[in-house]
Structures are given as structure tokens and as C-alpha cells.
Chain A
Amino acid sequence: MSNKATLAKAKMLKPQTKQSFTTYIMVIAAFVIMMVLSSTGNVSSQIEGLLVPLCVYSILAVSLNLTVGILGELSLGQAGFMCVGAYASALFSIATNESITVAWIRFPLAILVGGICAAVFGILIGIPVLRLRGDYLAIVTLAFGEIIKNVFAALYVGIDSNGLHIALNQADMNLAEDGTEIIRGALGVKGVPQDSTFVIGFVLLMITLIISYNFINSRTGRAVKAIRDNAIAAESVGLNITKYKLITFALTAFLAGLAGALYSHNYATLQAAKFDYNMSILILVFVVLGGIGNIRGSVIAAIVLTLLPEVLRSINNYRMLIYSIVLIVMMICTSNEKARNLIISVFNWLKDQIIKLKNMIIKPKTKEVK
């Protein structure tokens, strides 16, 4: 029997390992191609400027997929966690700019600070909410995102010889002559060192992917998927639902915090208004379009949907409208057999028409049919 067992085990592990390694190879290949193109001067400055954001969005999509696809809960606060990571890492970098002058030591630390701060917020938000019905998590994460955005946009922080000053408007800070303002309300943070590079973005994306795949294919990930599939059965075999929900949620927040750090160190200024509800929805669109629960799909969707509007400027106005329709159609097709069959039959009909058209084109003297 043990012989049979090991045989079946070998068969079992294969698809999971294959899946993750295909993704790693795909991302590495894309990175190498971009590096080669870039070093030979074949990449336009427009695309060059998108390389770091592509990594940021991919990380965000992969991390949100852990909550949406693996845990099966909806979080609309991805931008909020990203915002925490962005601000925390930016403040760390500014504070240590003089003491740690080497960027390749300072920046990884800043990224870690961003991730950990976001994870702490994830746990704080998760504890009260994760024991409630799923819809509440969606609305609370949305609320959390708005709170974070509003608080950072209202916050004035400065430092002088008397120490740290925190206030809700500029005048109340009472900074001394020698003081410097760090956060200036809606104007945000100025002077963040621009440490982000495509190479660091790529490394972070790879780390995110490895963590995510390893998490999914581990004891904890299995428990999380079991809770997603049937919470009552999961409890009946002794799984602590809140604990595993919280772990997943904190991991999602941590990875979003990493992305936030990468994002904030890509630009000289950082404004809270960027991290709004629309950003969270955009990441959700990546996850849904890439396939809920499909990590590789999230990366592909994030890259394609970020590049496409840049390449095809004309669709930019209709972008969000198209996304909204895609969300609705995807959901109806995945959950409703009738709708799925309808779409399949439409596709088949189209295929037939194309074949007919081909036949018609081969014959002479036929008008093209639209």
C-alpha cells in the first residue's frame, strides 16, 4: 500500500509545483526580455516609466487574490493597506536618510517596515470583523480604506528640536524655525528618496509569488481553502476559522504594504488621495479578470490591463465602463450555468459565422458580410 501511496503522492504534487514554476519562469522571462530591450534602447520612456507600477499592481493583485480567491472573502481596502505601507516606509526612509546612507540597506528595511505596519493594520481591522458575515468584511475594509485616506490627507506632521509635532492643520503644528514638515496634509510627503527600480520591483514580485504559492500549498493554506469551501465542515474537523482568516488577511495586508513601499519610493511626492476606493476596485478587477484563485492570472491581468490603456489611448475613456461590464459578465458566467451555456453558444455561433465567411471569401464575387 505504501508503494501505491507514494505513487499517488507523486502524481498529486506535480500539478501544484508545475503551476508555480511555470509562473516563476514566465515572470523571470518577462523581466529578462524587458531588461534586454531596455539596455538596447528599445523601450519607450512611457513604458520605462510603467515598469515599477507594473510590479506594484501585480503584487497588489496577487495579494488580494489570497483574500478573494483562497479565503473567499471580499476586501475593498487594498488601497488602504497600500497607503499604510507607502506612508510608513516613506517616513522611515526620510527619518533614516542621514543615518543609513546606503540605499540598498535602507530601502529593504523601509519595505519591511511598510509591510509590517500594513499587516498590523490588517490584524486590527480583521479581529472585529472576520467573525461576522462576509458582506461586512467588504464594507468595513472599504470604510477602513476611506478612514486611512482621510486621516493621512488631514494629518500634518513636523519635526524640530523640540521633537515630533502632530496636528490637523499647518498652523497648529507650531514648528520652530529649524523644524521641517514631513507630512503636509493633502499635499502629502515630499522628498521621499526615489529608491525603487525595476530590478527591486521584480525581486519583490518574485518574493510575493513564492510566499503566495508556498502559503497556498501548505497546511495553513489548505485550512484556509477548506474554510472557504465549507465553513461548517471546517469547524467540524476542528479548524479555528477566525485564526486562519486572520492569518490570510494579515498576509494580504503585508504584501499590499510591500507594494505600497515600492510605490511611494517610485515618485518624489506621496499623496493620500491616490489611495482611494477606485484603486481598490481596480485591483479587484485584475483579480476577477485573471481568475479568482488563479495567482498567475492576477499577474497577467495586472500587466495587460495596465499596459493596454497606455498603448490604446482611445479606449481610456471607456476603460472603467468596460471593466464594470466585464465584472458583471464574468460573475454571471461563472455562477450561472444558463448564462455560461448562452455565452458558449454565442461563441460557437460566431465560429460558424467565421467559417461561413471564410467559405464566402474563397468564392469570388461575394460581398463581405459584417
Chain B
Amino acid sequence: MALLEVKNLGISFGGLRAVDEFSVSIEKGELYGLIGPNGAGKTTVFNMLTGVYKPSNGVIMLDGQNITGKSTIEINRAGIARTFQNIRLFKAMSVLDNVKVGLHNHYKYSTAEGVFRMPRFFFTEKEMDKKAMELLSVFELDSKADFLASNLPYGDQRKLEIARALATQPKLLLLDEPAAGMNPNETAELMNTIRFVRDNFDMTVLLIEHDMSLVSGICEKLSVLNFGQLLCEGNTFDVLKNPEVITAYLGD
């Protein structure tokens, strides 16, 4: 059975049908791309998958569990983590703390144990530091652990967002335009990182991207959205050759 099984997902804002009858099936360990022109509804799909928007119809199954219409928090706990198109870091916090917030639900001690500095506080914090530094070193951010998140260069901010999402120990990672604003070198590096994450964390990745070098470089399968509807899907190579897709991107 597929890890993510989406059937006939749709949502309307007022009279506008933003996404209609969207279906996708992603196998465990796949690197899947969601592409389409601006305004096609890609981020809206992400927002429905993560519970930011409640879909008006359709079903979302994650690992056999129905998560349709659940809250963002419940969905994160069920195993979906994401990054955002316009980076949303905890800007006034350190790089390390950003990742430690991601670890929040997996390393626990109570507020009282924290305030009164009980043994579990010291023990758990130490474990969290260790785990967070491990994650940061994957993204080569460990040397910048005590920087303020807002002081990181743009590319590092995108990487930190991925690290924070991974810290929540998801089954499925959603990346919303991870290469936006990166130069070709940074993009190439990012591609390696995403592959590394998939291989070493046993991760399934669904990403939205406009950078075709990244899409064709790492995605194994693609779905193309146009005007809120699925235009086509399949292997990356086939989809990118599809004349309909080329028309949708370049116009007539």
C-alpha cells in the first residue's frame, strides 16, 4: 500500500474552485514532485495535506490512517512535516533551538520539571542537544548552531527549515519550493542533501518546485497541476516530454 494516498481532493474559496479532484499515490521512499504554473494550486494542496485548510471533499490517507480534516498538530503527529514557500523560521531563536522545537514532541519533561530544574530536565536537554546537533551536521549547519536563525544566509535558512521539519520525525516530508532563491551551486548542493535525507532517514519526499534542473535531477515521479486540476502524472522523464505540460508552462 502507498504511504500517501490522496483521492479526489478538492477545495473552494468562495466561488473559486482552487483545487478539484486531485488524486495522487506516493510509495514509501519515493521522491515525488508536484509541479505546475503559478497559481495552479500546488501550495493549496500542501495546505490541505497539512491541515491548514480543511478540504471540501476528498480523502487523505497516510500509512493507512485517515487524516482528512484533522488539525495541523494531529497531522504532524501522524507523520507529515513541511517547509514553507516563504521561509517561516523562529527568527529570534538560535539555529539549535529551532531544531529543538522540532524535537519538542519526542523529548518530554513537564513545565514544572523545567522550572525547578529537576534531573529529567538536564538529562532530556542533553539528549535533545545531541540529537539536534546530529541533524544540523547533516545540513552542515552545526558550526552555526548558536547563530540567530534570522542571521543565516538565505540558503542556510531553507536548509534549517528542512532540518526542523525532520526533527519532528515524519514519515512524509513536504518541501515547498526548497530551491527558490538559490544559485545553481546551492541548488546542486540541496539536491544532494535531499537525496541524502531520503536515503539515510528512510524518508518519503513530496516537493513543489519551479527549478526544472532540480525536478528532473532528483524527482522520480511527477504530478502536474494546472488551474487546480491534475494535468498528468507519471515518471519524470515522460511527464516532462508531454506536450500538454509544455503548453501549460510556456503557453500556446
Contact = CB atoms under 8 A, between A and B. Distances in A.
A229 B84 CA distance: 15
Contact of A12 (B96, B109, B114): B96
Interface in A209-240: 211, 214-215, 218-223, 225-226, 228-230, 232-240
Nearest to B113: A218
Contact of B90 (A12, A214, A230): A230
Given A12-B96, A214-B117, A220-B111, A5 B130 contact: yes
Given A226-B90, A238-B168, A239-B101, A219 B130 contact: no
B104 A219 contact: yes
B108 A219 contact: yes
A1 interface: yes
Main secondary structure of the interface of A (DSSP, over half): helix
Most chain B CB within 10 A, of A1, A11, A239, is at A239
Contacts of A11: 145-146
Interface in A248-288: none
Contacts of A293: 92
Q: How large is the interface on A (under 10, 10 to 19, 20 to 34, 35 or more residues)?
A: 20 to 34
A137 B128 CA distance: 33
Contacts of A2: 130
A62 B168 CA distance: 32
Nearest to A220: B111
B114 A219 contact: yes
B25 to A, nearest CB: 23
A236 B115 contact: no
A211 to B, nearest CB: 6
A210 to B, nearest CB: 8
A1 B102 CA distance: 21
A238 B76 contact: yes
A187 interface: no
A15 B93 CA distance: 13
Given A5-B134, A12-B129, A236-B76, A222 B89 contact: no
B133 A222 contact: no
A219 B109 contact: yes
B168 A237 contact: yes
A362 interface: no
Contacts of A222: 93, 97, 100-101, 104
29 contacts: A1-B133, A4-B133, A5-B137, A8-B96, A12-B146, A214-B115, A218-B115, A218-B121, A219-B104, A219-B107, A219-B124, A221-B114, A225-B92, A226-B101, A229-B91, A229-B93, A230-B88, A230-B89, A230-B90, A232-B88, A233-B164, A236-B84, A237-B76, A238-B76, A238-B77, A238-B105, A240-B73, A247-B111, A293-B92
Given A1-B137, A221-B114, 14 more contacts: A1-B142, A9-B129, A9-B130, A215-B115, A220-B111, A225-B90, A229-B92, A230-B88, A230-B89, A235-B72, A235-B73, A236-B76, A237-B101, A238-B72
Interface of B: 50, 52, 72-73, 76-77, 81-82, 84, 88-94, 96-98, 100-102, 104-105, 107-109, 111, 114-117, 121, 124-126, 128-130, 133-134, 137, 142-143, 145-146, 164-165, 167-168
Interface of A: 1-2, 4-5, 8-9, 11-12, 15, 211, 214-215, 218-223, 225-226, 228-230, 232-240, 247, 293
8 residue pairs, one from A and one from B, having the closest CB atoms: A218-B114, A5-B133, A238-B76, A233-B88, A229-B90, A235-B72, A226-B101, A220-B111
